[in-house]
Amino acid sequence: MQRLPEISRLLKRKFALNNQSVRAEFKDGCLYVFCEAHAPPEKNITLAAVRGALVGLDAPGILNIQVFGCAMGYPQPVWVGQIDPKLLRAPRQPSVDGSTS
């Protein structure tokens, strides 16, 4: 996926202040996002942050997004969540004549 470096930058910027490391991988149409911290990141907050970082991203090759919450030093994720990529599309803006584009 050509947009993976851009996606990684967006996610790293979003999580930089939260003392979490984040990395993204892409395989077979799925974007895998790994969020890691000393204590496992809270699932709902992390999913919302990932969703917020990626809103408006135009990446038609992404068919699924899986997010993993990991605690540093543990080999298995504490939780796994999914985000529907359709929810990331930017809302259509009304045109001057009132129709949506």
| Sheet with 79-83, edge to edge strand ranges | 21-27, 30-37, 64-71, 79-83
Pairing assessment for the beta strands 79-83 and 21-27 based on DSSP bridges: unpaired
Of 2 and 64, more confident: 64
pLDDT at 99 over 70: no
Percent of residues, the chain, with pLDDT higher than 70: 86
